[in-house]
């Protein structure tokens, strides 16, 4: 029997992935390939960080991830 799905554990894994992208070293590539690698890393970090900030609920088999994209009140 598989363990029960825990949405909070999933959120934690996305936080860890975002941290891993930030710590990832740049491979020895030059020119346009280097720029493509950096752009992909930025998108990876953004996606993982957003999901890592999500509030997750699991209700009757429906997983809902809520991400507040509103700017903070200043």
Q: Each residue of 9-57: pLDDT tens digit?
A: 999 999 999 999 999 898 888 999 999 999 999 999 999 999 999 999 9
36 Cα distance to chain centroid: 19
pLDDT at 72 over 90: no
| Residue 14 covered by a domain | yes
Domain holding 19, by residue range, is 7-57
| Residue 25 covered by a domain | yes
Domain tally for the chain?
1
For the chain, the first-to-last Cα distance in angstroms comes to 49
32 Cα distance to chain centroid: 25
| Residue 73 covered by a domain | no
What are 58's strand-pairing partners? 63
Beta strands (DSSP E) in the chain are 55-59, 62-66
pLDDT at 60 over 60: yes
| Residue 62 covered by a domain | no
Closest CA to 41 of 15, 23, 29, 28: 23
């Amino acid at each position: 029997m598989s363990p029960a799905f825990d949405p909070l554990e999933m959120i934690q894994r996305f936080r860890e992935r975002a941290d891993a992208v930030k710590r990832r070293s740049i491979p020895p590539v030059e020119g346009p390939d280097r720029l493509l690698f950096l752009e992909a890393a930025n998108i990876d970090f953004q996606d993982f960080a957003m999901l890592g900030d999500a509030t997750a609920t699991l209700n009757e088999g429906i997983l809902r991830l809520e991400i507040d994209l509103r700017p903070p009140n200043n």
